[in-house]
Amino acid sequence: MTTFLLVHGAWHSGRAWDRVVPLLESAGHRVLAPSLTGYGDKKHLLSPEIGLDTHVQDIVDLLRAEQDVVLVGHSYAGLVISSAANEMPDRVAELVYLDAMVPEDGETAVDVQPISQRLIDLAAQHGDGWRVPPLPEQPTPFGLFGVTDPADVVWLREMLSDQPVRCLQQPARLDNPAARAIPRTHIRCVGATPEGITRRPVPAIQPNGTPSQVWELPTGHDCMITMPVELSELLLKLA
């Protein structure tokens, strides 16, 4: 039995994994899919003080009670899982970057995905400056985070919360040599990508010296909603 710890991205909640969790569990595995502080059942905790460090601590607290975890981070959560593994490398068997930001030591979300700064600037111009509202739905084929089915868009919209700016400005900490030994897998969504979204190439060689493992899904960004079966099949290869 493998324990999968699924970490959602910016604006989302743990409910984003609702279609993936039962598929992994039915294959005999244990799955944790928490909402980070400020989202889902923790939405009432949303505040200007919440940052990347808060979310890293959320995951570190869970890892303390686990062993040999496959740690999956979607989108912004690439920064979260990287820093959490830096803190608890002995608890992580594999890091999975799911269409995710992949930082270097000291980088922020703005460094990895420069459009984040534009969102921060808009929040300052049109809001209270400390939080970024969810992105608007765009015309097909982009939809809402790559989700285009009308019913799914409604469901997804209901779970979204504002993203604290501090999450996009705090740096990832990747200074623990032990964390470099953790195997890494990259799953990329290769459907339509909205203008302004950039994607770094995956290094040919992982930090542990082995060739990078890269899988692709022909869908938009929120593949856990649009292609849960196919995503689960990829994750089960790591069990």
Rounded distance between C-alpha atoms, residue 32 and residue 19, angstroms? 13
Report which of 219, 92, 116 is spatially closest to residue 164, judged by C-alpha positions.
Answer: 116
User: Quick one: pLDDT at residue 1?
Assistant: 93
Pairing of strands 163-164, 131-132: antiparallel
Q: Which phi and psi (to 5°) does residue 96 adopt? A: -120, 115
Q: Looking at the whole model, is its pTM more than 0.85?
A: yes
Give yes or no for a contact between 54 and 172, defined as CB atoms under 8 angstroms apart: no
User: Quick one: pLDDT at residue 68?
Assistant: 96
Catalytic member of 13, 75, 116, 161: 75
Give yes or no for a contact between 112 and 199, defined as CB atoms under 8 angstroms apart: no
Per-residue pLDDT tens for 48-87? 999 999 999 999 999 999 999 999 999 999 999 999 999 9
Rounded distance between C-alpha atoms, residue 56 and residue 47, angstroms? 16
Q: Which residues pair with 5 in a beta bridge?
A: 32, 71
Report which of 221, 233, 172 is spatially closest to residue 9, judged by C-alpha positions.
Answer: 221
Contacts with 44 (C-beta within 8 Å, 6 or more apart), sequence order = none
Report which of 221, 162, 180 is spatially closest to residue 86, judged by C-alpha positions.
Answer: 180
Query: How many beta carbons lie within 10 A of that of residue 47, not counting itself?
Result: 13
Rounded distance between C-alpha atoms, residue 76 and residue 58, angstroms? 14
User: Quick one: pLDDT at residue 90?
Assistant: 97
Per-residue pLDDT tens for 146-172? 999 999 999 999 999 999 999 999 999
User: Quick one: pLDDT at residue 74?
Assistant: 98
Rounded distance between C-alpha atoms, residue 210 and residue 221, angstroms? 27
User: Quick one: pLDDT at residue 48?
Assistant: 96
User: Quick one: pLDDT at residue 10?
Assistant: 97
Q: In the annotation, is 75 catalytic?
A: yes
Report which of 225, 224, 232, 227 is spatially closest to residue 25, judged by C-alpha positions.
Answer: 232
User: CA distances (Å), 221 to each of 14, 28, 99, 188, in order?
Assistant: 16, 27, 7, 8
For residue 74, give the DSSP letter: E
Rounded distance between C-alpha atoms, residue 99 and residue 178, angstroms? 24
User: Quick one: pLDDT at residue 198?
Assistant: 81
Q: Which residues of the chain have pLDDT under 70?
A: none
CB-based burial label for 18 (10 Å; 0-12, 13-18, 19+): middle
Query: How many beta carbons lie within 10 A of that of residue 105, not counting itself?
Result: 13
